[in-house]
Amino acid sequence: MNTPENSNTASPSDRAGVGVDWEARYRAGDTPWEKGAPHPAVVAWLRQNPLPGRVLVPGCGAGHDVREISRHPVSEAVGVDIAHSAITRARSYPAVGREIYVLGDFLTGDARGLGKFDALVEHTCFCAIYPTRRADYAREAAEALRSGGLLVGVFYGNPDNPEPDSPPFESPAEVVKEFFARDFEVIEETAPVPTYPGREGREYLMVLRRR
Ligand SMILES: C[S@@+](CC[C@H](N)C(=O)[O-])C[C@H]1O[C@@H](n2cnc3c(N)ncnc32)[C@H](O)[C@@H]1O
């Protein structure tokens, strides 16, 4: 965790004000979220609901979800992450389709130069940012999507985190709905969802449509 005391050694994560030095976590191998595979609920949802066009994945990490999306007939799958090491790792995998990875801070508008997207897939980015930045996430998601575009999110309702001041932060459905209410309508809500071992019963899937 970066504090004001050590900010002179700040990584790009810290300068962006996201509160966690994600680059340092990757470098230290302190990445408990890294499961080596796409989220099972994303895999299952995509099988039933092929996404068209361009798809954005904020906080893509090593890009497992991006590559899963890319197996479908999308025109492009774009992963954005603030940590250089995450992007390097994502790029080290063989391409499975038309996926690209971009280094940037999603919360401060770095995805805006990428053009409009038809869908955004959320998985452990919303719960990873400080709750004080959730409005930034919702604003940038709305900016990224064309009207009618879909936000398909696997949200961490109850991570049962013993350290409440560190991510993952709980993201109950009623709270998520509040943040997205201005620009999105909820069109699907599913729980429980298939997940990785150890996360059973803690997540839900919500699909929101950009107004
Ligand atoms: C908990 S990890 C999840 C990574 C990936 N979604 C996964 O499940 O493997 C959160 C990710 O979000 C990235 N991240 C955090 N804040 C970000 C921001 N403001 N913009 C872009 N990426 C960010 C981190 O670097 C990290 O890779």
Ligand 1 midpoint to CA 124 (Å): 7
Which is nearest to 155 in space by CA: 182, 132, 136, 180? Answer: 180
Ligand 1 midpoint to CA 51 (Å): 22
Ligand 1 midpoint to CA 60 (Å): 6
Q: Is 57 helix (H, G, I), strand (E, B) or coil?
A: strand
Note the pLDDT of residue 4: 32
Pair 50, 77: CB distance under 8 Å: no
> Is 105 a pocket residue for ligand 1 (Cβ < 6 Å)?
yes
Note the pLDDT of residue 13: 52
* CA pair distance 129, 16, nearest whole angstrom: 11
List, for residues 28-73, the tens digit of each pLDDT value. Answer: 999 999 999 999 999 999 999 989 899 999 999 999 999 999 999 9
Pair 133, 18: CB distance under 8 Å: yes
> Is 101 a pocket residue for ligand 1 (Cβ < 6 Å)?
no
Domains of the chain, earliest start first? 34-210 (3.40.50.150)
Q: Which residues of the chain have pLDDT under 70?
A: 1-18
Note the pLDDT of residue 23: 97
> Is 141 a pocket residue for ligand 1 (Cβ < 6 Å)?
no
Note the pLDDT of residue 6: 35
Note the pLDDT of residue 162: 87
